[in-house]
Chains A and B, each alone.
Chain A
Amino acid sequence: MTWTTVCELDAIVPGTGVCALVGDAQIAIFRPHADDTVYAIANIDPFAEASVLSRGLICEHQGELWVASPLKKQRFRLRDGLCLENRDYSVASYAVRVSEGHIEVQN
């Protein structure tokens, strides 16, 4: 397991996400606030099998943060990729950290 630097923290507009290519995996990285809290889950929406989750809206339900797929609005928990609508469609999550202003993902 190694840490891969993907981008600067400031490359992500607070409240949005971006998609990073790490190895051959598409990883969605979210920055919900203007601080250095970040989350990383798989970018592929498992319902449509399209690479879109980084483009979803970050939302709060049940006291936790999720991303709503921009295609059909199913929600995935940022901390572990759990799908709120159907846990069989949960996605992978990745360890992610901010180091000296850069975002690093473990894969």
Chain B
Amino acid sequence: MAKTRLIVVGNGMVGQRFLEELCEKGNPAAFDITVFCAEPRVAYDRVHLSSYFSHHTDEDLSLVKPGFFEKYGISVLVGEAVKQLDTAQKLVHSNKGKTMAYDKLVMATGSSPWVPPIAGSAHHECYVYRTIEDLNAIEAAAKQGKSGVVIGGGLLGLEAAGALKALGLDTHVVEYAPVLMAEQLDRMGGEMLRRKINSLGVSVHTSRNTVNIAMHGGRTGLHRLNFADGSTLDTDVIVFSTGIRPQDTLARYSGLFVSERGGIVINDQCVTSNPDIYAIGECASWHGQYFGLVAPGYKMAQVAADHLLGRKELNFTGADMSAKLKLLGVSVGSIGDAHGRTPGSRNYIFQDDQAGIYKKIVVSPDGTKLIGAVLVGDVDDYGQLLQMKLNDLPVPEHPDTLILPSYAGAKPAMGVDALPASAVICSCFDVSKQRIADAVAAGCHTVAAIKAETGAGTGCGGCVPLIAQVLNAELAKQGIEVKNHLCEHFPHSRQELFHLVKVGGLKTFGEVIAKHGHGYGCEVCKPTVGSILATVHNDYILKPEHTPLQDTNDVFLGNMQKDGTYSVIPRMAGGEVTPEGLMAVAQVAKDFQLYTKITGAQRIGLFGAHKGDLPEIWRRLIDAGFETGQAYGKSLRMVKTCVGSTWCRFGVQDSVGLGVELEHRYKGIRTPHKMKFGVSGCTRECAEAQGKDVGIIASDAGWNLFVGGNGGVKPRHADLLASDLDHETLLRYLDRFLMFYASTADKLQRTATWLESLDGGIDYLREVIVDDKLGLGAQLEADMTEVRAKYECEWKATVEDTSQHARFAHFINSPVHDPNVAFVPAREQHRPASPAERRIIPIRPVETV
């Protein structure tokens, strides 16, 4: 069968989603797909466009999974636009002179910003906010200026204002209407938003009609905005965000029906007036209406793909325009009839000027159903309210209880059981409650697994709490108990075991397993219990009763390498090392023929040490003044520092001094996983502290404390826990934080995943650590003091205890080194020989004895 030639015009968010729907759910082999992508890069996430300023890589924003186009043999013409569509001959002509035939065609051309035709607005220095190119232009302009204005106080305008503020500009927002976000918010909600945004240092000017712009005609700024009331505003950078218009020019010229208000006319199957042509996303007009949000576009993508695949049951039935977002740090939610325009509808309002919270719900005239809501400053209720509205759930007897703060009494629980199976839980990816229930039944028993399986919760993330509720309800229904047991030997989580060990004063694995587990133990529970015992008691970890618990790294106090040799990494706190220290390290490396390199942790690693040589190597390092760097342990590895105010021209605090102090304060303490700290001496952040478990950045007034950062497989920026701390408070919070993490994290859970698993996340952590909500502060500090007091250098203890040395010999019955270890030269040093390079010792086949 000949393949269907399919052309997709446009590779934006919706166009890309369409390709995914078609290829991943259908039969891509039946299609020969060509995509025209007019922008210089393939599909990226416009919803999170502002994050481009903080990360600056378009890869972060890319929506194309690696290898996607190759996998399905899709030909993508980047930077090539369709300039003419010949529906009679079914041909397209590109701006680069290409002509291609199609059997089916999909228009996904999106929209373009609409700029009001006032004098000055067409000037090339008036920017819009839609593409990465726009952002690059705005950023370049911001570098030359001090102030900026966004004309348009809608959703996107405020997003743009956030970007200008982040670029360091004195930022203004000018809005024609009397309120911000007039589409989504009522007057009082808009007013609360204006106040909050004002307090963040962005000046909001509402009811201002900009009549013309004098480009390069300003006095205190480069340009001047003239308003209808005679007032003016001088500014250096101008960004228009005054709405969008469907990009339907190509369709107009090719004879497709186009709506009066703009947009290519489509039916419920997303088919245009030409049966071989579909239109989806912002360029389409359904029942005279176009949609400037991504969720309806995604729904259209799904409908069109299904229709093209011959499944005709799915229809586009309009879209719920409810939205939840965070603008300039202020959370805002809007649901359904936010303005209460339904005749006879009843409003319930809660307002807290102190906290800057405004909530309103709109209930049907008969008081039975929720038809709209506005939330500013606190959107915790959004998920529940949206589900109530979408599924026509009955409103409780006193509807105001839905939005009252929790201290006013328990909220009426809606319970996910009340939701019909068809209820859409994730509107970004159109995932129903049934789909999630099916995934749970198929074995997805964690939120992460459901996300991976269904895509739910991976868009805006607003539905994640609901997903968790559905998950728990389904698991309960299926009689599946949610277990986080350590392993088959312990019916407890790590956190539970930690408390059992601590409260019960247990000192050995034998005691712990006899009392709280059963059997012999395994490679999972033994090191975990070993780590718990070490955290609680901080005993010398190589006492004979502890030795069998430790992974080889802790048994031989070095990191085992692929060939069975070990690395040797002495502590160089804060990255400091003396010339004498360097010479001592160099001599050891030379004498024991160790490969030498600077590690990723600002210290020197010596590799390829024979196990039997370790005690002598360490004796010499300790004699030279070094101590173990615990590079092998699940404990604090190091504190990375920049050079700080002692030397650097820009430093405002002594970052090296603090880093050295912290490294010595917390060294050796066993934690659920390894930990890395960073201390930067100013906001330039040269120590990359925000990528560390604990990051500390100097401010003019003290130290800002960040936690939960990570590099590695899943990089995560740390969250700010507290700002402008003095030295003493910083140490107190750190003591609390580390002990709280050590006592509550799961096995091998880094702080980043631990923080994400905490209900309430960083806000909850702040309540525990800073506000001491649980009253644990003093205890956590006392525990830390006790553990710290017991620190000793494990290598010093091992070197001094000569009875330990015999253990380090490779053979119990021979003094020779491991003959299976061999090196080959590499870049003036050496590396382990590969098995193929050293086939000296044959591996014996299985033989029955």
Binding site for B on A (CB under 8 A): 6-7, 11-16, 18-21, 24-26, 29, 32, 42, 44, 46, 48-52, 55-61, 65, 68, 70-71, 73, 75, 81, 90-95, 106
Contact = CB atoms under 8 A, between A and B. Distances in A.
A56 B843 CA distance: 18
B848 to A, nearest CB: 8
Contact of B551 (A48, A57, A60, A93): A57
A7 to B, nearest CB: 5
B523 A73 contact: yes
Interface string B806-849: 11001111101010110000000000000100000101111101
Contacts, number: 117
B820 A26 contact: yes
Interface of A (DSSP majority class):
strand
Contact of B548 (A7, A14, A52): A14
Interface stretch (B212-220, B490-498, B555-563): B555-563
B579 interface: no
Nearest to B509: A15
Nearest to B552: A70
Contacts of B519: 60
A70 B551 contact: yes
B637 interface: no
Given A51-B820, A57-B526, A57-B548, 5 more contacts: A20-B814, A21-B811, A51-B564, A60-B520, A92-B845
Interface in B319-359: none
A57 B28 CA distance: 49
Contacts of A26: 811, 818, 820, 841
15 contacts: A13-B548, A15-B549, A20-B811, A42-B844, A49-B843, A50-B562, A52-B552, A55-B556, A57-B526, A57-B527, A57-B551, A59-B522, A60-B522, A71-B564, A92-B846
4 closest A-B pairs by beta carbon, nearest first, are A15-B548, A59-B522, A60-B520, A68-B523
B560 A71 contact: yes
Given A25-B844, A26-B841, A13 B544 contact: yes
A21 B814 contact: yes
Interface in B560-616: 560, 562-564
B548 A59 contact: no
B844 A57 contact: no
Contacts of A19: 810-812
Most-contacted residue by chain A among B520, B551, B563, B845 (CB, 10 A): B520
Contacts of B527: 57
B547 interface: yes
A50 B807 CA distance: 19
Contacts of A13: 544, 547-548, 807
Which size bracket describes the interface of B in this complex? 35 or more
B489 interface: yes
A33 B552 CA distance: 18
B846 A90 contact: yes
A6 B812 contact: yes
Contacts of B820: 26, 44, 49-51
Interface in B493-552: 519-524, 526-527, 544, 547-549, 551-552
A57 B523 contact: yes
Nearest to A58: B548
A94 to B, nearest CB: 6
Given A91-B843, A106-B849, A11 B812 contact: yes
Contact of B843 (A11, A44, A68, A106): A44
Contacts of B816: 21
A58 B844 CA distance: 22
A94 B811 CA distance: 17
B438 interface: no
A7 B813 contact: yes
Nearest to A25: B844
A48 B547 contact: no
Contacts of B489: 60
B488 interface: yes
Interface of B (DSSP majority class):
loop
Given A16-B548, A106-B849, A50 B564 contact: yes
A59 B489 CA distance: 10
Contact of B520 (A48, A49, A52, A65): A65
B551 A92 contact: no
Contacts of A32: 520
Nearest to B519: A60
Contact of B812 (A7, A24, A55, A58): A7
Contact of B523 (A14, A48, A59): A59
A73 B544 CA distance: 23
Contacts of B547: 13, 15-16
Contacts of A61: 488, 522
A46 B569 CA distance: 28
A18 B547 CA distance: 13
B39 to A, nearest CB: 44
Contacts of B844: 25, 42, 91-92
A95 to B, nearest CB: 5
Nearest to B520: A60
A55 B520 contact: no
A51 B548 contact: no
Contacts of B810: 19, 51
Contacts of B563: 48, 50
Contacts of A60: 489, 519-522
A91 B845 CA distance: 7
Most-contacted residue by chain B among A48, A51, A106 (CB, 10 A): A51
Interface in B764-815: 806-807, 810-814
Contacts of B488: 61
Contacts of B841: 24, 26, 44, 51
A57 B555 CA distance: 10
Nearest to B542: A13
Nearest to B530: A57
Contacts of B846: 81, 90-92
B812 A20 contact: yes
A44 B840 CA distance: 12
B25 to A, nearest CB: 34
Nearest to B844: A92
Given A50-B564, A58-B548, A11 B806 contact: yes
B63 to A, nearest CB: 35
Contacts of A6: 812-813
A70 B560 contact: yes
A7 B813 CA distance: 6
Contacts of B847: 92
Nearest to B847: A92
A40 B772 CA distance: 54
Most-contacted residue by chain A among B521, B523, B547, B818 (CB, 10 A): B523
A75 to B, nearest CB: 8
A62 to B, nearest CB: 9
B205 to A, nearest CB: 63
B706 to A, nearest CB: 33
Contacts of A46: 843
B345 to A, nearest CB: 62
A15 B841 CA distance: 28
B836 to A, nearest CB: 9
B66 to A, nearest CB: 26
